[in-house]
């Protein structure tokens, strides 16, 4: 019996590590022929993922077929760029010798094992396409894990194909043409420039990111955390591109455990408050691990909540400090930013918190709506629990996700899907209280069509993972490809 070992090379941030580890669980649970080694990569200046943290993400699954390799040597790699794509590109280029050494040691270790697996391939994060070169050196196939949805992949692949035929194509011009639109295969609606991902509009990052998507064409397959029932037109359109590798929709891959180190007391306090609220009565506001707003915008959100009259649970975090320009901080006193008397006036219907145990909250029966930044993991979590969304995207591909949720899938209402907030607040538009209140009231209507459609896709998503259904079949197809392509 053939046995194969896959080497996973993740991007070391929670939004990428969590779903790729969930996918590892699905793979080893789905087929006993597979085992996986996951590289733990440390990026200078960022809190490194630890073996214990990554093992905790695996939950109760026996991990004898999931191994971790700690690349401690990678700490010496110097990468000082402030651009995420530029950082990732140069960092992984410099990381090649460390990965090469770790994989050689892994292969050498197999020689002393009587029933050892064969190295079957790399599964690399969408930001790590430089590692395709290392896989080629070992004569093994590489597969890409795409942490965003198929719609984003279809959009970026289309832009990349346009640059292949027109070397002078410059998408950054759309920065000054927000009302322009382009036709994208697989989309029912023209995509407006105002929802393009940030990276497309950036002169430094755009060619680097398009280069990563060009490199993906060299892989033997792309694993996407989505389901056919949600993004069928985008997936079918990608499949029609004969120069593009096969697409394997394996989702929704959702981590149903809260992974952030929150005290039991805080989580219990939140759940106790939710327990006291009527079913589907609470709107939950949470904007992801990087989500924060200026003091002026916070006051407009507060006023909007009051005007809506809806019960709310609001995850509110402080804007990053200059010495840590990305990660938001926790408030020690919410009164320093909220309107005077807000907490007293809303004490009976609302609760303001810091970091939120998002999965626990979305799973609670009292939660009836989710005001979200539309990060892909959060989107899938909301759909999994059947909670309709109001879109308020902040950066990266979130605006495109929000556009698709509102216009393509009709699974969300819009508060703001063309909000443009990078890490520079200087040009940010303030969303006014009345606009927020209108969106929340529409979201929380008990019998609207969006709520019904979200419940339907929630049921289809859970069913897709069951034996014989779409995502399960896609996973089996991928495993068979891995085994058949082993050297």
> Which residues are identified as catalytic?
16, 125
Nearest to 35 by CA among 113, 101, 144, 130: 113
* Distance, CA of 281 to CA of 368 (rounded, Å): 6
* Distance, CA of 92 to CA of 215 (rounded, Å): 14
CB 103 within 8 A of CB 119: yes
* Distance, CA of 5 to CA of 69 (rounded, Å): 13
Distance of CA 336 to the CA centre of its chain: 31
DSSP labels for 409-461?
S--EEEEESS----S-GGGPPPPPHHHHHHHHHHHT-TT-HHHHHHHHHHHHH
HSE value, Cβ hemisphere, 13 Å, CA-based, for 487 = 16
What contacts 30, CB < 8 A, 6 or more positions away?
472, 475, 476, 479
HSE value, Cβ hemisphere, 13 Å, CA-based, for 218 = 19
- The enclosing H or E element of 51 equals helix 51-57
CB 392 within 8 A of CB 415: yes
Composition of the chain by helix, strand, coil, percent to 5: 45, 15, 40
3-state SS record for 121-140:
EEEEECCCCCHHHHHHHCCC
* Distance, CA of 94 to CA of 98 (rounded, Å): 8
CB 48 within 8 A of CB 40: yes
Q: Is the dihedral of CA 468, 471, 477, 480 positive or negative?
A: negative
């Amino acid at each position: 019996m053939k046995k194969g070992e896959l080497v996973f090379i993740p991007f070391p941030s929670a939004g990428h590590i969590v779903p790729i580890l969930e996918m590892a669980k699905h793979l080893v649970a789905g087929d006993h022929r597979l085992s996986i080694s996951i590289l733990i990569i440390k990026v200078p200046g960022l809190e490194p993922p630890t073996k214990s943290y990554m093992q905790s993400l695996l939950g109760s699954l026996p991990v004898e077929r999931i191994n971790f390799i700690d690349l401690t040597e990678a700490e010496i790699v110097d990468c000082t760029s402030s651009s995420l794509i530029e950082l990732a590109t140069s960092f992984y280029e410099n990381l090649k010798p460390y990965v090469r050494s770790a994989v050689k040691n892994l292969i050498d270790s197999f020689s002393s094992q009587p029933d050892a697996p064969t190295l079957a391939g790399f599964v690399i994060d969408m930001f790590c396409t430089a590692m395709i070169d290392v896989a080629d050196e070992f004569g093994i196939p590489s597969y890409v894990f795409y942490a965003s949805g198929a719609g984003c992949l279809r959009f970026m692949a289309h832009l990349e194909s346009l640059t292949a035929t027109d070397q002078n194509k410059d998408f950054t011009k759309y920065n000054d043409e927000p009302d322009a639109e382009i036709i994208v295969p697989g989309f029912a609606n023209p995509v407006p420039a105002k929802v393009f991902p940030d990276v497309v509009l950036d002169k430094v990052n755009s060619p680097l990111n398009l280069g990563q998507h060009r490199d993906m064409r060299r892989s033997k397959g792309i694993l996407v955390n989505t389901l056919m029932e949600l993004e069928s037109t985008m997936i079918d359109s990608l499949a029609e591109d004969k120069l593009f590798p096969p697409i394997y929709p394996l989702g929704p891959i959702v981590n149903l455990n809260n992974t952030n180190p929150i005290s039991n007391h805080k989580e219990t306090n939140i759940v106790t408050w939710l327990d006291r609220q009527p079913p589907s009565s609470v709107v939950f506001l949470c904007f992801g691990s990087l989500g924060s707003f200026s003091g002026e915008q916070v006051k407009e959100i507060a006023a909007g909540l009051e005007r809506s009259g809806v019960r709310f649970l609001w995850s509110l975090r402080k804007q990053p400090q200059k010495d840590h320009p990305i990660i938001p901080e926790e408030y020690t006193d919410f009164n320093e930013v909220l309107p005077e008397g807000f907490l007293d006036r809303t004490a009976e219907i609302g609760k303001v918190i810091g970091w939120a145990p998002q999965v626990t909250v979305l799973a609670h029966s009292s939660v009836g709506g989710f005001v979200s930044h539309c990060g892909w993991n959060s989107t899938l979590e909301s759909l999994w629990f059947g909670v309709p969304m109001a879109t308020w995207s902040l950066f990266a591909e979130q605006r495109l996700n929000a556009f698709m949720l509102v216009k393509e899938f009709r699974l969300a209402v819009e508060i703001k899907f063309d909000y443009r907030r990078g890490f520079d607040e200087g040009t940010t538009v303030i969303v006014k209280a009345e606009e927020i209140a209108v969106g929340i009231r529409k979201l929380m209507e008990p019998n609207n069509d969006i709520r019904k459609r979200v419940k339907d896709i929630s049921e289809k998503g859970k069913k897709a993972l069951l034996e014989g259904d779409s995502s399960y079949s896609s996973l089996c197809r991928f495993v068979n490809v891995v085994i058949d392509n082993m050297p």
